[in-house]
Structure 1
Amino acid sequence: MSLRGKAAIVGIGETPHKRSWPGRSALGLCAEVAAQAIDDAGLRREDIDGLITMGGIYPARVAEYIGVRPWNFAVSAGLMGSTSGVALTIAAMAVSEGIANYVLFVAGGARDPDNPQAAGGFRMEAGFQSEWFTPYGPAAGANTYYGLLYTRHMYEYGTKPEQMAQVAVNQRFNAAKNPLAAMREPITVEDVLNSRYINYPLHILETVMPVAGAIAFIVTTAERAKTLRKPPVYLLGAGVSQGYDNHWYMPDMTITPTVYSAPKAYAMAGYGPKDMQFAEFYDCYTILVSCCLEDAGLIPKGEAG
């Protein structure tokens, strides 16, 4: 199945992103960006007949709270940092197959220190990880996994801390140009290397910082998009792949699912890595950005530094 040119984003909404947002809830923030996206597209709430939410925020609650009617399609997509990209693919499939006309995606969290229930985050049940892994060291969540990935990349390819630090500097440089970004102050390689270790060789300025905020977008068919208020953004190619929760189970820790999903997107779009002029990856850790650049074919494996 090819989605090339069959669907488009026609409206978006986004709040500023902050360390926390006291007095706000995930539902409230999602309602705010949903209203922005609907207005941006020139639609009415009644036009929305499909809904996708970030995992942990249930479609029924969102629909009730913001007053949309997803009678034709609703699903919750919980794939951590890749959720929005996967949601776009799901929405495109839904509209191109005639399941829904306008699909709204919302994601957000409040991180209200006075109301932990407002965060809208994931709640994982106890399982084999807490029983068999945590007692023996890997207890720092994703910091552990990405520290191991970073160490393995250093071992396999001779990657230097200075090279990974430059990734953080570049990301902060980009954020400085975004008025909605949470961290806009410039940093240097020395700042990164002098910041405290979280899990060797990861420094705190190389690690993800949970923030509060919300985003939304609306997807419809290419034909409907032509009749709306603003120029649409067409989806040309998409690919989805899923790895493992624990990186040490992967055949190669330095390879991400991007190595499988990117070729699918390129093939559908009819373009290749050499055609790309802009790339954006989930940047929770400097090492993940580097590995995704490699696995997307934008640079040779092991040369991200």
Structure 2
Amino acid sequence: MTTLEHQGIETAEQAAFRAEARAFLHAHLPPRRDANPWALNFTADEGEARAHFEAGRAWQRLLFDNGFAGLTYPREYGGRGGDAWHERIFREEQASVEAPTAFISATIAMLGPTLMRHGSDEQRREYLPRLLSGDDAWCQLFSEPGAGSDLAGLACRADRDGDQFVINGQKVWNSAAQFCDRGMLLVRTNPDLPKHHGITFLLVDMDSPGIDVRPLVQATGSAHFNEVFLADVVVPVSRILGEINEGWAPARTVLSNEAAFIGGGSGGANTNEKLVMLAHA
């Protein structure tokens, strides 16, 4: 029993939602087991890694189909249209069951609020329902060999050609990029501006011609991270999130959401699991 339940200060509406969430979670998931909070399970088998990733996607789809994904997002964008307390109660209840540790939930936490803040209404309607349902899995294409801690020094270049950009460059430490459908991509669109300007945030399809994803095999044998090469990749100008040359603003929103996800909990994932989901993405 939670503190609020114990004190009897939940409203009838909140208590009803808690009962709904608890019934759903316990109908689909086993009780959470005691485990070392720093324990991790690595796999060197690509098939197992993909199966784990797809299990997270399937769980997200089940949440979406039952009205438990995007609890605070507007209904017109695929959410439930609820209040912050819906999210709090659901996380409290989910902490008691063995929920799949899903990479996709991390990227929803990063990209969803960024689309709400910086995206156009058309972009929200196109991308948010597929993000919240797990139909589209997104990776983060930020870091480069020469731009990690100094992210604003990125050099991946996008040259405008009419109503499209032609992109050339390299990204690295991209979590689960080999399994993702779309990517959040930072590119240099004006090298003559100060480095925090001249950056544009693009939404890119990972199956675009010219994108080459190469897994990086770690000492454990697993390949969670990747390097991504972009050679003459064409992206429509309509895929800009925010304003051209002002991509640092949505990038900072993503990074702030990333920090909040790690520090604020994710419905049962332990600290080390969250770091692995997000580190170097």
User: Which TM-score tier does this pair reach, normalised by the shorter chain?
Assistant: under 0.3
State the TM-score, normalized to the length of structure 1: 0.24
Larger relative contact order (C-alpha < 8 A, sep ≥ 6)?
A: 1
State the TM-score, normalized to the length of structure 2: 0.25
